[in-house]
Amino acid sequence: MIIENTTTKPRVLVFDTTLRDGEQSPGCSMNLEEKLRIARLLDDMGVDIIEAGFPIASPGDFEAVNEIAKVIKRATVCGLSRAIERDIDVAGEALKPAQNRRIHTFISTSPQHMRYQLQMDEEQVLESIVGSVTRARKYTDNVEWSAMDATRSDWDFLCKAIDTAIKCGANTINIPDTVGYAVPTEFAELITYIRNNVTDIDKAIISVHCHNDLGLAVANSLSGVMAGARQIECTINGIGERAGNAALEEVVMALKTRNDRMPFECGIDTSMIMKASRTLSNTIGFNVQPNKAIVGANAFAHESGIHQDGVLKNASTYEIMTPESVGLTRSELVLGKHSGRHALKSRVAELGYELGDNALNDLFKRFKDLADKKKLVLDEDIIALIEDEAATQDDAIRFLSLQIQAGTKCPQVAELELTIEGATKSITVEGNGPVDAIFKAIRTLVPHDESALQLYQVHAITGGTDAQAEVTVRLAEGARTFNGQGTDADTLVASARAYIHALNKLMANRAKAKAA
């Protein structure tokens, strides 16, 4: 089925899998509150389908899909399941509260996967498709079926499998390039082949799900759309298994910017792209590379003299899309230490955030502290502070103060003050360097010996030596990882904040596991 809607241009559905394919990749795990926050953002952005997780994978995954299903009212909420009865039942259960729900079930169709992973022959795979799609239809009439490793499958067997899925009631047929092996011309040929060789293909929407192992995920996805696919599966910042999935922001901006060549429409509010990218980066502690298309720090920066000269004369000389179209505002009003609460409030609103009075008061206090240290407070600084405050507002362990003794002439000592569930605790600890001293101090005040520090990363939010530091800390306990971020003009304070943020998540997870 190709959706030709009321406008003249065909609609391409945006299926976001940040919370499933993205979240399952190393270092990208999120807790329930974080998943809900991302889901709400995706909904506000206009994503058509939110793949909220893989409910059978763990009780946490089930809960996340279930909670997202309760709160998301516009987008369709989707849950993944293997071609296994129990998976489908659990997905059906998790999605029950959703206003609009979809079950996404998959099985591999390539010789490699069927032989080595599934140990099934073609007949068994076809039987499994009948069983899984039929069962999924008991829970919803919106069923997506995926042929895992489709691009390495025998095309005729793939068509047979698709035909079977459609006959059993699947109305979205997803063609994943699971291992990122396809090239754009070949992928388009495959979609065309499917359209020409599956009798009832018009009863379903063809979807594409491309991985980026050869850096071709976006090109393959768009090539698939040009050949007749009408759903693209993608993730914010392109996160996902191995090299990731097609990046939502790249797919959407390519469709918008080159609408002359790709005359399709999609429902995404592109001015929310930067916010979505930053919120995700802050949540998982993965900053995108500076030269990343659309959302990288340099994506709209012009460094060379010739380019700067051109842009100053007319932006169209070197800009194929405006920074504003992706939500990068060029602030006319620069904030500094003389700026008041009102100026901050309107800047926050222009940046697309809505803060209550308490949150604004907290932000204003941190803004003033920063403005004392940094001459100009830029949009990036304000966003980092907002994200930092939002991420830590419910934390039981909170940073109060830090005094450091460091350098070559004395031992490195951290004097740290925290509140733990409202009670103030302080300690002075010596370490091998100031960061070691801080982390030891936290470990002493809140013992958590079973966990290990997996990542410590410092990133400057803007240029200049007075830039705020954004620190990421990842703690690992068992199979789970907990990312924390901290922002401050003082790198050591940011380090303490980041560690405490990760520790709060770890402790909350322990408490939840104990209560269960």
In contact, 213 and 244? CB cutoff 8 Å: no
Comparing every residue's Cβ against Zn ion, the nearest one is 21
Closer to Zn ion by Cβ: residue 21 or 250: 21
Closer to ligand KIV by Cβ: residue 66 or 146: 146
Cα-flanking dihedrals φ and ψ of residue 374, to 5°?
-125, 130
**Considering CB distances under 5 to 8 angstroms, the limit depending on partner class, which of Zn ion, ligand KIV, none binds residue 34?**
none
Interaction between residue 21 and ligand KIV (CB under 6 A): yes
At a CB cut-off of 8 Å and minimum separation 6, what does 91 contact? 55, 56, 65, 79, 80, 81, 103, 105, 136, 139
User: Other CB atoms closer than 10 Å to residue 201's CB: what's the count?
Assistant: 20
109-148 footprint of ligand KIV as x/- string (CB under 6 A): -------------------------------------x-x
In contact, 173 and 141? CB cutoff 8 Å: no
Interaction between residue 435 and ligand KIV (CB under 6 A): no
Closer to ligand KIV by Cβ: residue 106 or 286: 106
* Binding segment toward Zn ion, per CB under 5 A, in 13-21, 183-191, 399-407, 504-512: 13-21
First to last CA, the chain: 45
Interaction between residue 24 and ligand KIV (CB under 6 A): no
DSSP class of 395:
-
Closer to ligand KIV by Cβ: residue 113 or 398: 113
63-102 footprint of ligand KIV as x/- string (CB under 6 A): ----------------------------------------
Task: Name the minimum Å distance from CB 195 to ligand KIV.
Answer: 20
Interaction between residue 144 and Zn ion (CB under 5 A): no
Task: Name the minimum Å distance from CB 346 to Zn ion.
Answer: 41
Closer to ligand KIV by Cβ: residue 153 or 504: 153
Instruction: Residue 251: name the closest of 462, 87, 48 by CA.
Output: 48
| Residue 499, H or E segment | helix 491-515
| Residue 307, H or E segment | helix 305-313
Closer to ligand KIV by Cβ: residue 211 or 497: 211
- Crossing angle (nearest 10°) for helices 184-197 and 217-226: 40
Site for Zn ion in 370-429 (CB under 5 A): none
157-176 footprint of ligand KIV as x/- string (CB under 6 A): -----------------x-x
**Considering CB distances under 5 to 8 angstroms, the limit depending on partner class, which of ligand KIV, Zn ion, none binds residue 60?**
none
How many binding residues for ligand KIV (CB under 6 A)? Answer: 9
Interaction between residue 209 and ligand KIV (CB under 6 A): yes
**Cα–Cα distance for residue pair 430/413, rounded to 1 Å:** 4
**Cα–Cα distance for residue pair 264/255, rounded to 1 Å:** 7
Tell the burial category of 306 from Cβ atoms under 10 Å away from its Cβ (0-12, 13-18, 19+): exposed
Interaction between residue 21 and Zn ion (CB under 5 A): yes
DSSP class of 10:
P
**Considering CB distances under 5 to 8 angstroms, the limit depending on partner class, which of ligand KIV, Zn ion, none binds residue 366?**
none
Instruction: Residue 152: name the closest of 91, 111, 96, 114 by CA.
Output: 111
Task: Name the minimum Å distance from CB 77 to ligand KIV.
Answer: 16
Task: Name the minimum Å distance from CB 280 to Zn ion.
Answer: 17
Interaction between residue 51 and Zn ion (CB under 5 A): no
* Binding segment toward Zn ion, per CB under 5 A, in 3-11, 15-23, 58-66, 417-425: 15-23
**Cα–Cα distance for residue pair 174/106, rounded to 1 Å:** 9
- Rg of the chain on CA atoms, in Å: 25
Closer to Zn ion by Cβ: residue 21 or 387: 21
**Cα–Cα distance for residue pair 28/240, rounded to 1 Å:** 9
Tell the burial category of 432 from Cβ atoms under 10 Å away from its Cβ (0-12, 13-18, 19+): exposed
Q: Which residues bind ligand KIV (CB under 6 A)?
A: 21, 106, 146, 148, 174, 176, 178, 209, 211
Q: Which residues bind Zn ion (CB under 5 A)?
A: 21
